[in-house]
Amino acid sequence: MTVSIVALSAGLGEPSTTRMLADKIVASARERLGDVSVEVVSLRELAHDITDASLTGFASARLQHVYDQVSAADALIVAVPIFKVSYPGLFKSFVDAMETDAIIGKPVLLAATGGTARHSLAIDMALRPLFSYLQAFIVPTGIFASPHDWGSSGEHALQRRIDRATGELASMLDGGGTGRTREDEIDLFSDTMLSISNPDLR
Amino acid sequence: MQIGIFTVGDVTPDPVNGTTPTEHERIKATVEIAKKADEIGLDVFATGEHHNPPFVPSSPTTTLAYIGAQTKNLILSTSTTLITTNDPVKIAEDYATLQHLVDGRMDLMLGRGNTAPVYPWFGKDISKAVELTIENYQLLRKLWDEPVVNWEGKFRTPLQGFTSTPAPLDGVAPFVWHGSIRTPEVAELAAYYGDGYFANNIFWPKEHYIRLINFYRQRYAHYGHGDPEQAIVGLGGQFFMRKNSQDAVNEFRPYFDVAPVYGHGPSLEDFTEATPLTVGSPQQVLERTLQFADFFGDYQRQLFLVDHAGLPLKTVLEQLDLLGEILPTMREEFAKRRPANVPDAPTHAARVAAKNAEKEVRS
């Protein structure tokens, strides 16, 4: 069966190193998973829609389309640049305007680019807590790429991390996941719901 | 079909002339707007309830009674009365008093506050908002439907041998609408009691409201009140119109661009495309409004927001004149498309008549 992956790239530059990293991870995932359909989404193109959604509380049609793709995907790849200790505000605004339960139980591979290797813990200190809050199923290996990694001596180390992470992702997709996914149905039998027709249950 | 207006009661600076009305001016303007609504033949005027600046309507029944004394046919309602933080006993008393004063020409819409601190301000816990809604409403129903109430709940002092006064006019409690756009429990509550359900339908795309309206319709049928299409649905809406649609756009844009809810965000064009806001000619407003019934099903009450974002009173009154001009056609078109089995919006007179008919059948 085809595995659907959405790769979110929060790189703001054009061209973007973060996008380049996302593409490398996607290539590795294709190799691991075989039958894969991939949608790569660049948040830069949605910057105005994301700001509008932050202010109005609803997503424009094209931003909503991306949220729907994210929710429907079998797995996510998230690649962000690290600015000033953490991911860009635009990326956080994208997540803030998303439904809180949108990616419960979904396998997510986290990746980041930074100006120096000293930012490498940002994946664990900034990204991972955010996705823990969202109750995603986070791939253990995070992929951080500093400028050094794009040189010939670094390439193999980066590629090895990428392959290790996509290998973990493939294994997670094969397994039972967290056993939890987004619940779309209205629960008619919660205590609160039942107390409406039967006040004694209040 | 009942057609009317609802107000949030915001005091907002007018971005065009730079002035801000005083609270006194805003309250008096609200009364003028309601009187105008009566004059042009609208059915309903509803005011919000808020307990924080920049909003003025903290005491809806006071304002509604004052308006009631100066109007003839207008049904006075709320948008919304806070069922979470008000004492249900005081709601029962205040609104029953209003019902007597205006000879039944009123109803009310229950909802929750627009700001988190309103819960602690009134000694309530926001994490219990849904439970408060349910318990308070169940008590409100008893207070209106039973002459002597013995009651015990989680959130309020118990009542032993309590009688809420005055009893509802003609023994028929005010009709209740429940306003909600997110909470399935509120739709369930409305469905269980056979009450009305209102979706504000102003700030978001219409797709956001359809799920709970459909849920309410199904549950209304489940509890034996009728078929799903017979459930009592109300919708909001908003417009700005001028004879010439480009004039409407030009005049409204400076208000839209800095409006409290959507200002500094999407363009007027994007927002009008995505949400039910219509800025244009009376004909455009008419056509867009009639489309609501295609999407949500034939419904009973349409309320428009017309007096926000700092629009001056004079402009708001002009908007109502323009609405008055398309009102007969709007009514006619809604009536034409409404199937015979879909009921009219409830009024006090109709509900008293229904009650008397039921009594006769029994005796």
- For residue A125, the 8-state DSSP code is I
User: Given this model, what pLDDT does residue A155 score?
Assistant: 63
Among chain A residues, the shortest Cα distance to B129 is held by: A192
The residue length of chain A stands at: 202
User: Given this model, what pLDDT does residue B207 score?
Assistant: 87
Among B59, B343, B304, smallest CA distance to B200 is for B304
Alpha-carbon distance B189 to B114, whole Å? 20
CB-CB under 8 Å, A55 with B265: yes
- Averaged over B168-192, what is the pLDDT? 96
> What architecture (CATH level 2) is domain B2-362?
Alpha-Beta Barrel (3.20)
- For residue B165, the 8-state DSSP code is S
Lowest mean pLDDT among A162-166, A175-179, B91-95, B289-293: A175-179
Nearest neighbour of B135 by CB, restricted to A188, A197, A202: A202
Which ipTM did the prediction report? 0.84
B194 interfacial to chain A (CB closer than 8 Å): no
**Distance between B350 CA and the closest CA of chain A, angstroms:** 26
- Find the helix or strand (DSSP H, E) in which B130 lies: helix B129-145
User: Given this model, what pLDDT does residue A154 score?
Assistant: 60
Burial of residue A176, with CB atoms counted within 10 A of its CB: 0-12 exposed, 13-18 middle, 19 or more buried:
exposed
What are the pLDDT digits (tens) for B112-168? 877 889 999 999 999 999 999 999 999 999 999 999 999 999 999 999 999 999 999
**Distance between B345 CA and the closest CA of chain A, angstroms:** 24
A4 interfacial to chain B (CB closer than 8 Å): no
A60 interfacial to chain B (CB closer than 8 Å): yes
CB-CB under 8 Å, A51 with B265: yes
B260 interfacial to chain A (CB closer than 8 Å): no
**Distance between A74 CA and the closest CA of chain B, angstroms:** 25
Alpha-carbon distance B20 to B10, whole Å? 11
**Distance between A163 CA and the closest CA of chain B, angstroms:** 41
Among B141, B228, B144, smallest CA distance to B178 is for B141
- Averaged over A49-72, what is the pLDDT? 96
Q: What are the chain A neighbours of B189 within 8 Å (beta carbons)?
A: 196
List the CATH code of the domain at A3-201: 3.40.50.360
What are the pLDDT digits (tens) for A115-168? 999 999 999 999 999 999 999 999 999 999 998 888 866 668 899 999 999 999
Q: Which amino acid is at B319?
A: Q
B130 interfacial to chain A (CB closer than 8 Å): yes
Is residue B232's pLDDT more than 90?
Answer: yes
Identify the residue with better confidence: A198 or B250. Answer: B250
Question: Following DSSP, what letter does each residue of B301-312 receive, concatenated?
Answer: EEEEB-S-TT--
Among chain A residues, the shortest Cα distance to B208 is held by: A58
CB-CB under 8 Å, A56 with B204: yes
Q: Where are the domains of chain A?
A: 3-201
Among chain A residues, the shortest Cα distance to B203 is held by: A56
Mean residue pLDDT of chain B comes to 96
Is residue A23's pLDDT more than 70?
Answer: yes
What are the pLDDT digits (tens) for B312-339? 999 999 999 999 999 999 999 999 999 9
- Averaged over B206-225, what is the pLDDT? 95
Question: 């050094």: which residue's tokens?
Answer: A148
Is residue B146 classed as helix, strand or coil in its secondary structure? Answer: coil
Q: Where are the domains of chain B?
A: 2-362
Nearest neighbour of A192 by CB, restricted to B130, B215, B266: B130
**Distance between A197 CA and the closest CA of chain B, angstroms:** 7
